[in-house]
Every structure is written in C-alpha cells, then in structure tokens.
Chain A
Amino acid sequence: MPAVSKGDGMRGLAVFISDIRNCKSKEAEIKRINKELANIRSKFKGDKALDGYSKKKYVCKLLFIFLLGHDIDFGHMEAVNLLSSNKYTEKQIGYLFISVLVNSNSELIRLINNAIKNDLSSRNPTFMCLALHCIANVGSREMAEAFAGEIPRILVAGDTMDSVKQSAALCLLRLYKASPDLVLMGEWTSRVVHLLNDQHMGVVTAAISLITCLSSKNPDEFKTCVSLAVSRLSRIVSSASTDLQDYTYYFVPAPWLSCKLLRLLQCYPPPEDGAVKGRLVECLETILNKAQEPPKSKKVQHSNAKNAILFEAISLIIHYDSEPNLLVRACNQLGQFLQHRETNLRYLALESMCTLASSEFSHEAVKTHIETVINALKTERDVSVRQRAADLLYAMCDRSNAKQIVAEMLSYLETADYSIREEMVLKVAILAEKYAVDYSWYVDTILNLIRIAGDYVSEEVWYRVIQIVINRDDVQGYAAKTVFEALQAPACHENMVKVGGYILGEFGNLIAGDPRSSPLVQFNLLHSKFHLCSVPTRALLLSAYIKFINLFPETKATIQEVLRSDSQIRNSDVELQQRAVEYLKLSSIASTDVLATVLEEMPPFPERESSILAKLKKKKGPGAVSVELEDGKERGELNGGGDRGGDAAIAASNASTPSPSADLLGLRSAAPVSGATPSAGSLLVDVFSEAGPAATSAGVNDDGFLRFVCKNNGVLFENQLLQIGIKSEYRQNLGRMYLFYGNKTSVQFVSFNTTVSYEIKSRILNVQTKTVEPLVEGGAQVQQVINIECLTDFIDAPLLNIKFRYGGALQNISLKLPVTINKFFQPTEMAAADFFQRWKQLSQPQQEAQKIFKASHGMDTEVLKAKLLGLGTALLENVDPNPENYVCAGVIQTKAQQVGCLLRLEPNAQAQMYRLTLRSSKDTVSQRVCDLLAEQF
C-alpha cells in the first residue's frame, strides 16, 4: 500500500491492486480478475442503484483491468453516466475511462458528446478543461464534427481563462490533425496568430504548437506570425535568467517556448524585412554565443535545455542555408560536441552534421571533422551512436575522400553490429559506385564487401557489379583476374561464387593466357565450389560451363562429362536437370557458329538508376538518403555510356519464363525446350528496373470467348498462376459482369491491374469498371464488377487486359470479354402464323444470313435446345413443319434501337451437318448472330 493517498482514496481499488500484485502466476491473476469482473457485472446489473462513489470505484477497477491488458466489454454506460455527475472526481474518472477505452458505439458517442457539450458551456474552467482534454484524447471524427466549430470561439474569446485557452489550442490542433477538413480557421486566423503576443507564457506555449501546424499547411495565411515570433524569441533570448520566473527552467529562460518559436520559423524562408531578419540573426548569434559561456548550473537539465535551444537554432540556420557565417559557426559548434563527454551530445552532433553536410556552404567545414567521425565509428560503445557516425560518413563522402571513407566503412563492417550490417553494405556499394574513378577499385571494393559481409550482400549488390563489369570493357580483364583470385580461398561466400561464375563465364578468356588460370584451371576452380552451393547458384554455374564450351573448345569434353553425370542429368531439381540436358545437347549438336551465336557475350545493360540506391531508400524511408546518384556525368562514366545500352533490352525480352537466374546467357531464345515452370526466383535482368520487360503475354484468347456465347457463368481463363471466373447477368440493353480473379499460387501478386479497353469513339458499348486492389494474396480471390450498356449493335468484344507481377516478373494477359450481341436478346414467344408472317416480311437478301456447317459436337437434342435457349432467344415449339428443325425468336435491345430476330436451325443427322438461317431487320445483326452461333454446334 502506498504511503500517500491523496484526495479521495478508493480503498476497494487499492485492495484489488494489492491482490493482483500478490498473484503468483498469470493464471492466478486471470482468476482474480474474472472474479472481480463478475462482481462488478453483478453490481452494475443489480436492482439497487449504485451511488456515485461505487460507480466511480468500479469504473476505475475496470480501467485498471483494461490497462493490464485484458479486454473490457462492459461498463461504458456507467462511465458515461459519471460524465454528467456534478462531482468533479466522478466526472474525472468517467472522462479518463472514455479517453482510454473509446468505443465507436454511435449511441454512446452521442451521449458522450452531449456531456462534453454541457461541460463546455458550463463556464466552469475545471469542467471545461476536462471536456477539452477528453476531446483531445479521443480526437475522433464524430467529436470533430460536433466541436470543431465551437473550440476556436473558446480559444479566442476575451473572457476565457488561460488554462482553458491552453487546452482549447491543443485540442483544436488534435482535431485539425485528425480531420483537417472540419477545422476551418478562416475568420479566426489573425486572432489565433496574435496569441503569440499573449501575456501568459503558458498560453503562448500551447498556442504556438497549433500555429506551427497550421502554418506548415497554409504558410501564406499565417505568415504574419514570422515577425511576431521573431520579436517574442528576441525578448526571451535577451532576458536574464530570472526574468521569466517559473518559465525559467534550470536557469534557462523558457526553453520549450524558444524551441517552438525556432521550429515555427522553420516553416518559412528567411524573413524578407531587413529589420526582422537582422533581429533574428542577432538572436541566433546570441544563442551560439551562449553555448560558449560557462554553464550556470552543473545539472544535466540545465545543459540539456540550453543545448536543445542551440540545436533548434542550428536546425533553423541549416534550413535557411543562406548565411555562410552562421553555417560555419554552427558546424564548429557541432564539431565541439563531437568530442563532448556526453554521449547524447555526440549522438545529436553527428545527426545534425548529416544535414549540414548537404549544404554547399558547410560541406567543406564538415569534412574537416572526418578523423573524429571515423574515430567515433571505431570507438563509440553505443551502437546507435556508431550508426549515426556511419550515416555522417556517408553524407560527407565526396570524390576527395571516398577511398578513405569506403576503406574505413569496410573495415568497420568486419566488427559491425549485425543490426546495421545490411545498411552499411548498401552504403559502401553506393559510394564505391558513385565515386569510382578507376574501376579496378570499384571491383576490389565490391568483392571485399562480399568477402567480409557476404551474408548481408543483397542480390541487388552483386547484380550491380556484374552490370557494371559487363558495361565497361576496360575493367573486364581485371575483374576476371580478381574474382579468380578471390575464388582461391578455401571457403568463399556463395555470392562470390555467383559473381565468379558469371564473370569467368563471360570474360574467363581474358585471363586464360596465363597457365595459372588456364581454361581447365578456371573450370576446376568453379566446379570445386559447385557441390556446396544452392540450386540457383548451381544453375548459374551450369550456364557458365556452357559458356566455357564456347570460349574454350578444349574444355568441351570435360564439361560434357560433368553434364552427363547422373548428378546433373538426373538431378531431382527440374531446373538443374533441364539445364544439364539442354546444354549437353546444345554442345553436342550445334555447330561452332551456332554455339558462338547462341552463347555470345552479353550485351551491355541499359542505363538505370542503381537498384541499390532504390533499396536503401526503401529501407530508410523517403527523404532519408542524403546522397543521391544524380550526377549524370558520373553515372554515365560508370555504366559505360548510354549509346551502348539498347541491345540489352533484346536479351531481356527473350526472357519469357522467370526461373532462378534463367536468363543469364540470353539463351532463352535459342533453347530448344523452354522451361515452362515459372518459379519465384527473379531474373537477373528484371531486377534492375521496375517496369521489367520480361512480360509474358498470352495473346488474345478466343476460345474462352466463344464458350460464353450461350452461357453466362464459368471459368473464362486459367493458367498456372491465375484463374478468372465469370458470372454475368443481362437485362434489356444493360449487363453486369462479375469477374473473379483467383491467385492459384502461394505467392502474392503485386501491382495487379486490370483494364477494359473498347473503342470509345465508336459509341457502341458503354463499359464501366471498378478498379481492383493492387495486391492479390496467395490463394486469394478478388472480384471486379463491370457494367455494360449496349448502345447499338456490335461485333468486336471489349478487351480485358490484366497485368501483375509474380515473383518479380511482369505477367500480361489479354482476353476478349465474352460480351456478344446475343446477350441483349429478349425472348419473344409467338405462334406459327406470326412467325411465318414475320419471316416473310424479312425477305430482303441482306436481311438474311445463312451458314451450312459440319457438326463439331454430338447432335443431342437436349444439348441443342439448351444452347439455343442460352443464346437468349425463345425456342418456339410446333412452328416448323419439320419436327427435327428448331426455330427461335427474340428482340435484341440496344439503346439506339430494337432489332427483331428470327432463327431457324436445320440439323441433318445423317450428314452430320447443320444449316443455320438468321433473319433480322438489320443485316449486321443477322450476320453476327449467325457467325457466333455457327461456332456453337
């Protein structure tokens, strides 16, 4: 039990909390809680009305239970009742419960809002504050709707108490953040801005948060706040430490308000008014000067508050980025902090310098601290500080210090904390690429990276090195030599084997002159790693081997021997087995010329943004990457000139089936049998650009389309990845189609997008679709509704185009939507006489369409009838004199006109032939229906 229990102690609550604390196990705790819940429930349900105190106590117990992490599903009503109590203490507990356990129950919200409304209009400042706190804590849209109009009034009213103003300002801020559309400042703007002049420091402190947020969203409307903020800041900065009484915090005048003022100014460019600007620069200089003064107190609170203002001032100086003098002073100040004994200050100095490094005025000044920062990276005990040091090194890197920084980062990697290794690897890779002057250094760096931190080298990194080596012929020989040497190590990382396999497969010939790296030595070296590698790497090595056969005919026998061995040609992995079989066959039957053509050196890759940079951006979030590879000249140098880029697209487009590193050799187009199973592995070429060219196009599918002439539901399309089901219904000239896209795999489809295209200019069909969610989880099905209006008769069906990414590869499927003219048939029943009369009326030659064709299916009567009904027409019995024949009638409904249509189908069972005759008032309709129907029997 606590020694102090102020105000009204709730004994029952204290006992309960004691009990919970004494529980020896989780089970005991749950048991005790359930007992309490049962007790409270019975009290709430009991016949005897509870007094306010008990109600408050039980609500408080429920709150405690909820805060322990248990679900609470009752008591809300009792809490709401407490809101309307006159007893402050009951009201307070009621509000607390509501704030913590807000329930979207609309009935309850109405009651709560009512209680709040009463308290807001009570003119009792304590009650008003409670109500405002509750609104700020809940901040729901319903509350914004109810109170967003009222609160600005309270905020600026002359007779509002200061404490209420403070709550009102922050309450309004909360509502503005949650529902900006509902908080309209308009007429209040200038009065709110003038709160910056309020006598009461607390009011200014609260109001400025609101003003800062509003200014950042509508800078123009609030720009008068700049001069007010500067003069307020100036008064604080120049005040003696005792002037502001209780707003002085450990001898620092108004640190919170100062920081908020400096933060507000960061919403704007430097003041245009010379006097205001002069005053502000003076403030900033005073703040920088004060940092050099001896501290007025040894307490850490004093130095924290003082430095908080200093850092905020430096942020403003960096934001303005226009005063070289201040920027350099800021940089020097941060330089001092880099060696401060307080870890917090070292951390913040490193962080703040990162932004300073990107300013042209201070970049050089930041660079002078390189040794200190490198030292921090090596010696800081705290990993989060080391992380900041690594960030700063990355930010301050340029051509002059790149080698030093990359070397330091590499050596740090060997001992780096696991949590930051991957990011470090990406940074090293980016810097090495960006500042590479000679490419041997670049290749060395990346291979070192793989050697030191192979596990953290993502695919993007090793793809990138290969891309660059392929594009730069002056580094290919060096790369081959270096990777050959690196592979000599008894244990080398699998990523090294991948790079080695690829580079030797392409450029092994450049080092084959040296007997120490003769073709056979190269092959044996690679093959010695083979058995330790995963399937994708093995697949890559097999491709390297076939490339060897082309480069070095003398290795052919050895390699064929390897390919022929059971472990390859009968490998249980289908991809490996297939490669072994195909390569073996290719090497034995193809002539040298064919082989040389098929296995030609990879063409240069097209220039793209570094995928590594994209990955780092993704990892750090937008805006977090301070170094951009934006310098076109530098990128050009690295990728070997844009003029050579085009050919690679050809290699890329050959890749029709994604499988682990399948397109390594650009071999797909020549491979006699194509591995038809798409797997989740990603193509080398595909990874580099978002709009990967490796799209599989199924072509336009007609079969599915024709199957739906006489039916409305079924499976429209199906392949290994996707199934599309269809349900449709038509009424008069309107139709609605439901498409069901089913993901048959266990991997999600991303960027899933469908479009229905139709020639709009022809004004034939009006097609409306709703877009589908871009993500289809593995095994999931999404639905799309398509609304169709038939304006006039038509032949061409709308096209449905489906695009999505599956395991990195773009899939592209085009289908004809089964919308045919007969869908808009209204069946028409008529007697024989009517039929023949109309038949005769439609006797002009162009009104008739006729086809005689062979039966492709059985001539079963019931099936025929079902199909004719499915066509949408009425099947007329006892009309045709020959009972073997079928006649039908219907009216096609389009927006423009109605087209009556008569049909006669004469089967000849002996000849297995049909004669189909259509007559309608419109020639195109007769022809189209005849064409469609002729395909159905």
Chain B
Amino acid sequence: MMHFLLLFSRQGKLRLQKWFTPVPEREKKKIVRDMTTMVLGRKPRSCNFLHWKDLKIVYKKYASLYFCCGLDAEENELLALEVLHRYVELLDKYFGNVCELDIIFNFEKAYFILDEFLLGGEVQETSKQVLSRSIEASDMLQETMEEYMSKPAF
C-alpha cells in the first residue's frame, strides 16, 4: 500500500499531503522535511526511485511540482509512477491544463479527486472515464454561490 503522497514545489513548499496511515504530526513534519530535501537534492535524469527506511520512495516532477509517494517494500515502483501520472491526468482533466496555482487555490478539490482515485493507500478505480464521471457528478450536486446567498440565514 501507499503510506503517503506529498506534492511540493521546487522551493520545498508543501502543496498537498495525504497520509494513509496514522502518523503523529511531529513525525509528519519530519517525513516532509526528509522527502523534500532528499528529492529536491537529486540530480536531473536520476532514477525516480529511492529507498528510505523500510519504504520505497517514488517521485516524479511535473512542471514546477514534485509528486512523491512512500510505498511498502513489496509494491511495484513502475506502477506507482503511473499512479502519480493518472492522478496528474485526473487533475488536468478537472482543471484543464492544471498548474500549481489550481492546486493551491482549490486544495479541497485536489483532496476530493484523490479520494475517488486512492482509498486507504490502494487504487480504488483506474478508469479515467469512471473517475471523471463521478467527480463531475458530485460537482453537479453543488449549488452556486448565488443560490446559497439567496437563502435566508437562519
């Protein structure tokens, strides 16, 4: 299973953090620090895999953003790279040419999309069509701000 997924910028700014196992806050900060320094310190065209403690780390850079995940030792690294890629594709389809700013300003959406795709650190659904459909369907359930504002504040 995947233990965590982190999105951070080239400057080491954390943009998204998803923890699939319970980790104390202090430990989270330490892991984030370790991951950013380790991954950002890699030379270009290095391989995308690392060993860290007893986890496999798989990361990939998309534009200015690094996607980095920690996996159990028996997980498949290449497939994990494609998990990252599929997530990027989903974000891209939702936002249209997704960029770092989209994830900053709509972080809650990024989390919702991730929940549709991965659950408990495992892949829940791989079909882009199925995923996009369910993400869009939940957007349809949402009301516009105007609708909200016209309602009486009780």
Show the binding face of A for B, using Cβ within 8 Å.
Answer: 1-2, 4-11, 14, 17, 21, 48-54, 60, 63-64, 67, 69, 87-89, 92-93, 96, 100, 126, 132-133, 136-137, 139-140, 163, 166-167, 170-171, 173-174, 177-178, 201-202, 205-206, 209, 245-247, 249, 254-257, 259, 263, 301, 304-305, 307-308, 311-312, 343-344, 346-348, 381-382, 384-385, 387, 621
**Residues of A with C-beta under 8 A to B48:** 344
List 6 A-B pairs, minimum CB-CB distance, nearest first: A174-B120, A308-B78, A88-B141, A170-B119, A343-B47, A246-B127
Contact A171 B128 (CB under 8 A): no
Contact A166 B22 (CB under 8 A): no
**Residues of A with C-beta under 8 A to B134:** 163
B130 to chain A, nearest CB (A): 6
Q: How many A-B pairs fall under 8 Å by CB?
A: 191
B109 to chain A, nearest CB (A): 7
Contact B76 A308 (CB under 8 A): yes
Contact A92 B138 (CB under 8 A): yes
**Residues of B with C-beta under 8 A to A254:** 126
Contact B76 A311 (CB under 8 A): yes
Contact A133 to B115, CB < 8 A, known contacts A17-B104, A301-B85:
yes
> 1/0 per position for B121-133, CB-CB distance to A under 8 A?
1111111111000
Q: Give the residue of B77, B96, B126 whose beta carbon is less than 8 angstroms from that of A202.
A: B126
B75 to chain A, nearest CB (A): 9
Q: Give the residue of A93, A177, A246, A312 whose beta carbon is less than 8 angstroms from that of B76.
A: A312
Contact A2 B43 (CB under 8 A): no
Contact B127 A308 (CB under 8 A): no
Residue ID in chain B nearest A163 by CB atoms: B134
B85 to chain A, nearest CB (A): 6
Contact B139 A6 (CB under 8 A): yes
Q: Give the residue of B81, B119, B129 whose beta carbon is less than 8 angstroms from that of A167.
A: B119
**Residues of B with C-beta under 8 A to A201:** 126-127
Contact A348 B153 (CB under 8 A): no
**Residues of B with C-beta under 8 A to A9:** 145
Residue ID in chain B nearest A97 by CB atoms: B108
Residue ID in chain B nearest A348 by CB atoms: B77
B138 to chain A, nearest CB (A): 6
Q: Give the residue of B107, B112, B119, B153 whose beta carbon is less than 8 angstroms from that of A51.
A: B153
Contacts A301-B85, A382-B46 known; list 5 others, CB within 8 Å.
A2-B95, A7-B142, A171-B120, A254-B126, A257-B126
A306 to chain B, nearest CB (A): 9
Measured between alpha carbons, how far is A911 from B25 in the docked complex, in Å? 74
**Residues of B with C-beta under 8 A to A257:** 126
Measured between alpha carbons, how far is A283 from B101 in the docked complex, in Å? 45
Interface residues of B in 70-99 (CB under 8 A from A): 74, 76-79, 81-82, 85-86, 94-96
Contact B142 A96 (CB under 8 A): no
Contact B78 A311 (CB under 8 A): yes
Contact A171 B119 (CB under 8 A): yes
Interface residues of B in 29-77 (CB under 8 A from A): 29, 42-43, 45-51, 54, 74, 76-77
Contact B122 A1 (CB under 8 A): no
A683 to chain B, nearest CB (A): 32
Contact A126 to B138, CB < 8 A, known contacts A205-B126, A344-B77:
yes
Show the binding face of B for A, using Cβ within 8 Å.
Answer: 1, 14, 17, 22, 29, 42-43, 45-51, 54, 74, 76-79, 81-82, 85-86, 94-96, 101-102, 104-109, 111-112, 115, 119-130, 134, 137-139, 141-145, 148-149, 151, 153-154
Contact A205 B47 (CB under 8 A): no
A616 to chain B, nearest CB (A): 15
Measured between alpha carbons, how far is A132 from B81 in the docked complex, in Å? 26
Contact B49 A348 (CB under 8 A): yes
Measured between alpha carbons, how far is A163 from B54 in the docked complex, in Å? 33
Contact A347 B47 (CB under 8 A): yes
**Residues of B with C-beta under 8 A to A178:** 22
Contact A205 to B125, CB < 8 A, known contacts A6-B94, A170-B120, A174-B120:
yes
Measured between alpha carbons, how far is A89 from B119 in the docked complex, in Å? 20
**Residues of A with C-beta under 8 A to B123:** 205-206, 209, 256
Residue ID in chain B nearest A216 by CB atoms: B74
**Residues of A with C-beta under 8 A to B139:** 6-7
Contact A246 to B130, CB < 8 A, known contacts A53-B149, A304-B82, A346-B47:
yes
Contact A305 B79 (CB under 8 A): yes
A67 to chain B, nearest CB (A): 7
Q: Give the residue of B29, B76, B96, B149 whose beta carbon is less than 8 angstroms from that of A69.
A: B29
Q: Give the residue of B94, B148, B154 whose beta carbon is less than 8 angstroms from that of A49.
A: B154
Contact A51 B154 (CB under 8 A): yes
Measured between alpha carbons, how far is A209 from B125 in the docked complex, in Å? 12
Measured between alpha carbons, how far is A523 from B81 in the docked complex, in Å? 62
Contact B105 A139 (CB under 8 A): no
Contact B145 A8 (CB under 8 A): yes
**Residues of A with C-beta under 8 A to B78:** 304-305, 307-308, 311, 344, 348
B21 to chain A, nearest CB (A): 8
Contact A381 to B43, CB < 8 A, known contacts A96-B112, A136-B119, A256-B126:
yes
Measured between alpha carbons, how far is A456 from B68 in the docked complex, in Å? 31
Contact A255 B79 (CB under 8 A): yes
Contact A206 B82 (CB under 8 A): no
A11 to chain B, nearest CB (A): 7
Task: Enumerate 16 A-B pairs (CB-CB under 8 Å) in ascending A order.
Answer: A4-B95, A7-B142, A8-B143, A11-B145, A17-B104, A54-B153, A133-B115, A163-B130, A202-B125, A202-B126, A202-B130, A209-B122, A249-B86, A255-B82, A256-B123, A384-B51
Residue ID in chain A nearest B154 by CB atoms: A49
Contact A8 to B144, CB < 8 A, known contacts A133-B115, A246-B127, A304-B78:
yes
Contact A173 to B79, CB < 8 A, known contacts A50-B153, A89-B141, A343-B46:
no
**Residues of A with C-beta under 8 A to B46:** 343, 381-382, 384
Measured between alpha carbons, how far is A499 from B50 in the docked complex, in Å? 37
**Residues of A with C-beta under 8 A to B1:** 177, 209
**Residues of B with C-beta under 8 A to A170:** 119-120, 122, 124
Contact A52 B148 (CB under 8 A): yes
Measured between alpha carbons, how far is A170 from B20 in the docked complex, in Å? 12
A477 to chain B, nearest CB (A): 44
**Residues of A with C-beta under 8 A to B130:** 163, 202, 246
B40 to chain A, nearest CB (A): 15
B39 to chain A, nearest CB (A): 12
Measured between alpha carbons, how far is A257 from B127 in the docked complex, in Å? 11
Q: Give the residue of A6, A21, A48, A206 whose beta carbon is less than 8 angstroms from that of B109.
A: A6
A284 to chain B, nearest CB (A): 16
**Residues of A with C-beta under 8 A to B29:** 69
Q: Give the residue of B104, B126, B148 whose beta carbon is less than 8 angstroms from that of A53.
A: B148
